[in-house]
Amino acid sequence: MPPQVLDRRSLNRATLARQLLLARSGLGVAEAVEHLVGLQVDVSAEAAALLEFLAAGAEHETREAGRGWQALLSASSARRPA
């Protein structure tokens, strides 16, 4: 059987579903973060450091975790090639 080829709409919907943006997920916060980080990380050493950073931020109040996310996003965008 030949592999199924997705049309543009189906591919977009699948991408949104992978990013947990299509429907509510039954995942907890930690599991959702782990899933989303896993989608973004290319090297396993970076993944471990990122998860450690996020786990440390999760122990703080929401405001502190928000600051951790801002730092994470800044660091992530600085490393991303143009």
Residues 38, 48: Cα–Cα separation, whole Å: 10
Question: In terms of pTM, does the model score above 0.75?
Answer: no
In order along its 82 residues, the chain shows pLDDT tens digits of 888 888 999 999 988 998 899 999 999 888 888 888 877 765 566 667 777 777 776 665 455 556 666 666 666 655 555 4
Distance from the Cα of residue 75 to its chain's centroid: 14
Cβ-contact 37, 54 below 8 angstroms:
yes
6: left (phi over 0), alpha (psi -120 to 50) or beta: beta
pLDDT at 41: 60
